[in-house]
Structure 1
């Protein structure tokens, strides 16, 4: 297992409810294990988690393990179609292509899905929550709607 991915992601195990059954996953116990607190007060803090194309998933703020200096966001698409699959966030030891490859290998293994392509973005070294607003796909971008009323038009 590559060392540049947090221990929490390495332990991830997926369980599934029955197909076509509403709330089929309710029987699974959710155990929330807080990340270990690094000995250094200067530990980097990052957004951590994954949100899928259906907007389901979890993203939280976490304290990175000691030695992890960068926050990342990964845009994940399907290789065959190029369609958006998910966006993931986490901590990384470095901000190079090898780190993105390690993240890709872990996620593909956990999801048992090799038809995924990754584009990673890294924040500055030591910058807390540098990945918090890295929304890697338009699906998650905030939209602003502007409406013009008849009264506003009359004032012009």
Structure 2
């Protein structure tokens, strides 16, 4: 399932110090060898997590949508790419008030979990335990993908 993202991952890691490796069907990314972001597919969801080593941690963000996964890879790896090349980070709004009315935010099944979905396209949905990460991703998804890509990789 992750193979569909190979071209995007290669593009975002190109000309940067992002290291990526595969362990137990998970992709791990790091620029400093201290924190590792992971990406994998399990039980009908793309999942993202962060840990201090490439290990089997739980997901802080999950989605059944490949579109959401593409944007989160762009946000994560695009940010790493900019950081590793000494470029200024992209500041995305990280609060609920910054989202357009096109998003709904409801509590998830677990404590501290939020479910965000686009009103116009209910299939574009994700669940997160990290509010700031969720709001930044939703903010980025308000851009067409090519514009968001240019935001991170453009000179």
Does 1 or 2 have the higher relative contact order (CA < 8 Å, sep 6+)?
A: 1
TM-score when scaled to structure 2? 0.24
Which has the larger Rg? 1
